[in-house]
């Protein structure tokens, strides 16, 4: 059980003894990197589902809800004297709540890691094909080999760290690479976009698939599953410090996300796919560099999700800290199973939608709000409970409706297929509206 103390800056939830502390800057890098993972690559597709104006509005709302619920989550930890999402829910709703939360908190990062591997396989194979002598039949153009290679050389070794704070430098590199990707998308919106005629209803205010879009956005912004880990890594883990870290991280992620989503969607409008890099032509050297940057960015983000998955399983298997052998074995098992599943799937959009609807939505909208209401000493109909109640209702609606829409209108994938407007990348062309 975590201990509490207080000072002029607010309640301090003291993490377990021996947990190394990191600066607020390092925590912010890890926090922002956790948000800007593979989910950002699907945001242009989310605007395709929701409509450009309404989609941007949904992005802003999702960021606000994320910011609010993350702070509420840590407040709940302070009120209950707990230092993990699982222990918070268990102390609030007992064993049934613990089981439900454990399933969700495992499912989200695990599926996220699968999506990261799918993205790595999609992007880096196209990068390697730009190397002289590497053609479509070369082993470096085989997505299965590339996924296995990146796992063995990068993601598994990084995931074996025991302290999440040590990933601060890798997260800084990932954020820098993400900014490069955003710049490239913005440039291509002005150079490639005018060559592709907008599809029908490209600029309508809203579309009926907005619920599916909200699922993708929830997937992109969720970081609740590792919030306690990041909070505990702070040099001075107070609510005031955590609020500053949250505002900075979520605000930065929102800015980057809006720019990237708008640039990607305005380039391809109705042709936008779940993985926006699938829309760009293979012989585009600037985009090839962007693919390389994104592949490296995803590789450095993967371990953040593995930390959460491992912690969840460790809390279920045993209540003590894992030994070195147990830590190594459990990490290898998680990464191996994740890699095996990702080798069998290559449609990123469906993965993002389902994970957003089934896992991210309850973790963002429902559970933090429910815990806060249950732990609060205010009467049930107090004004402080209005926002949590609204979030619970919205979360339940998004889960049910989003799952139905995803089943009725699954995304069509054209993985590995060159888009029709790439027939002659060196000449201007227009595409007739659909």
> Which of 74-83, 210-219, 324-333 is the most confident on average?
324-333
User: Does 400 fall in a domain?
Assistant: yes
Cβ contacts of residue 230 below 8 Å, gap of 6+? 27, 30, 31, 34, 164, 223, 245
User: Does 398 fall in a domain?
Assistant: yes
User: Does 429 fall in a domain?
Assistant: no
pLDDT at 127 over 80: yes
pLDDT value at residue 413: 59
Structure letter (DSSP) for residue 279: T
Q: Is 127 helix (H, G, I), strand (E, B) or coil?
A: helix
pLDDT value at residue 164: 67
- The span from the CA of 34 to the CA of 174, in Å, is 10
Q: At what angle do helices 52-80 and 43-50 cross, to 10 degrees?
A: 120
pLDDT value at residue 150: 93
Give the closest residue to 42 by CA, choosing from 261, 303, 287.
261
User: Does 84 fall in a domain?
Assistant: yes
Average pLDDT over residues 320-332: 86
pLDDT value at residue 427: 43
Looking at the structure of the chain, the number of domains it has is 1
What are the helix (H) ranges across 234-378? 239-268, 285-317, 324-342, 348-355, 361, 367-375
Average pLDDT over residues 114-131: 87
**CATH code where residue 51 lies:** 1.20.1740.10
User: Does 19 fall in a domain?
Assistant: no
Residues 85/284, Cβ–Cβ less than 8 Å: no
Task: Provide the percentage of residues in the chain whose pLDDT is more than 90.
Answer: 24
pLDDT at 317 over 50: yes
pTM of the model: 0.79
Residues 271/196, Cβ–Cβ less than 8 Å: yes
Residues 73/227, Cβ–Cβ less than 8 Å: yes
What digits encode the pLDDT tens for the residues 262-277?
999 999 999 998 888 8
Residues 420/431, Cβ–Cβ less than 8 Å: yes
Residues 245/31, Cβ–Cβ less than 8 Å: yes
pLDDT at 313 over 60: yes
Residues 44/181, Cβ–Cβ less than 8 Å: no
User: Does 2 fall in a domain?
Assistant: no
**3-state SS of 344-384?**
CCCCHHHHHHHHHHHHHHHHHHHHHHHHHHHHCCCCCCCHH
pLDDT value at residue 139: 92
What are the helix (H) ranges across 81-137? 85-128
pLDDT value at residue 428: 43
Query: 227: domain range?
Result: 36-412
pLDDT value at residue 365: 86
User: Does 133 fall in a domain?
Assistant: yes
User: Does 43 fall in a domain?
Assistant: yes
Using DSSP bridges, classify how beta strands 3-7 and 10-14 pair: parallel, antiparallel or unpaired: antiparallel
């Amino acid at each position: 059980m975590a201990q509490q103390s207080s000072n002029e800056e607010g309640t301090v939830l003291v993490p377990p003894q021996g947990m190394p502390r990191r600066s607020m800057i390092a925590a912010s890098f890890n926090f922002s990197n956790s948000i800007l993972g593979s989910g950002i690559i699907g945001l242009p597709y989310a605007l395709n589902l929701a409509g450009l104006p309404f989609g941007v509005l949904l992005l802003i709302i999702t960021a606000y809800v994320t910011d609010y619920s993350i702070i509420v989550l840590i407040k709940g930890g302070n009120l209950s004297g707990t230092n993990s999402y699982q222990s918070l829910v268990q102390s609030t709703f007992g064993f049934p709540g613990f089981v439900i939360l454990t399933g969700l908190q495992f499912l989200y990062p695990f599926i996220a890691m699968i999506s990261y591997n799918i993205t790595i396989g999609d992007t880096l194979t196209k990068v390697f094909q730009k190397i002289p002598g590497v053609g479509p039949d070369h082993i470096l153009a085989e997505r299965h080999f590339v996924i296995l290679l990146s796992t063995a050389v990068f993601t598994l070794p990084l995931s074996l760290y025991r302290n999440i704070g040590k990933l601060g430098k890798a997260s800084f590199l990932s954020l820098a690479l993400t900014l490069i990707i955003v710049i490239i998308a913005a440039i291509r919106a002005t150079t490639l976009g005018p060559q592709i005629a907008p599809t029908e209803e490209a600029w309508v205010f809203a579309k009926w698939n907005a619920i599916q879009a909200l699922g993708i956005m929830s997937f992109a912004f969720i970081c609740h599953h590792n919030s306690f880990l990041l909070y505990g890594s702070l040099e001075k883990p107070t609510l005031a410090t955590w609020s500053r870290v949250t505002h900075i991280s979520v605000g930065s992620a929102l800015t980057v996300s809006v720019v990237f989503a708008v640039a990607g969607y305005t380039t391809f409008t109705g042709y936008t796919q779940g993985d926006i890099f699938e829309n760009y032509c293979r012989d585009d050297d600037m985009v090839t560099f962007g693919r390389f940057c994104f592949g490296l960015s995803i590789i450095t983000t993967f371990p953040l999700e593995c930390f959460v998955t491992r912690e969840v399983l460790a809390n279920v298997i045993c209540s003590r800290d894992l030994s070195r052998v147990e830590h190594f074995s459990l990490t290898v098992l998680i990464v191996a199973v994740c890699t095996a599943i990702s080798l069998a799937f290559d449609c990123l959009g469906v993965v993002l939608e389902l994970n957003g609807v089934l896992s991210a939505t309850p973790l963002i909208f429902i559970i933090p709000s429910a815990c806060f209401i249950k732990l609060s000493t205010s009467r049930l109909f107090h004004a402080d409970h209005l926002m949590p109640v609204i979030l619970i209702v919205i979360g339940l609606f998004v889960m049910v409706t989003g799952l139905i829409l995803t089943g009725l209108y699954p995304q069509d994938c054209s993985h590995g297929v060159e888009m029709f407007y790439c027939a002659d990348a060196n000449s201007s062309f227009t595409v007739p509206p659909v």
